[in-house]
């Protein structure tokens, strides 16, 4: 299953050696990174990142890319520029 890192604070997600919050952190995965999971339960997902296989907490993953307020603002600004350009051409 494809999943996306969606941490509450837009921070990095810990890839751990074992499905335990006290387990060794192998690598930190950036916000919005795409992961392929091979095992999923209510608490942990098995996945790999940068060649390291381990576990991440399920609650920090989503099955769709999250859109932030900043993302929406960028889209809005882009559309305003595009519409202004079209209006000039049509005038």
**Taking the domain 2-65, which CATH number applies?**
2.30.30.40
Do 69 and 84 meet the contact criterion of CB atoms below 8 Å apart?
Answer: no
Check residue 80 and give its pLDDT.
Answer: 73
Beta-strand relationship, 61-62 and 25-29: unpaired
Tell me the backbone φ, ψ of residue 57, rounded to 5 degrees.
-75, 130
- Backbone phi and psi for residue 80, each to the nearest 5 degrees, phi listed first: -60, -45
Q: Please write the tens of the pLDDT for every residue from 14-47.
A: 999 999 999 999 999 999 999 999 988 889 999 9
- The larger pLDDT score, comparing residue 71 to residue 89, is at 89
73: number of CA atoms within 13 Å, CB side? 3
């Amino acid at each position: 299953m494809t999943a996306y890192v969606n941490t509450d604070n837009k921070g990095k997600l810990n890839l751990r050696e074992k499905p335990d919050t006290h387990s060794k952190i192998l690598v930190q995965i950036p916000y919005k990174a795409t992961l392929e999971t091979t095992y999923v339960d209510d608490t942990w997902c098995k996945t790999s990142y940068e060649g390291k296989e381990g576990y991440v907490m399920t609650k920090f993953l989503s099955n769709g890319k999250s859109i932030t307020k900043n993302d929406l603002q960028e889209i809005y600004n882009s559309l305003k520029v595009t519409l202004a350009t079209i209006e000039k051409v049509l005038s």
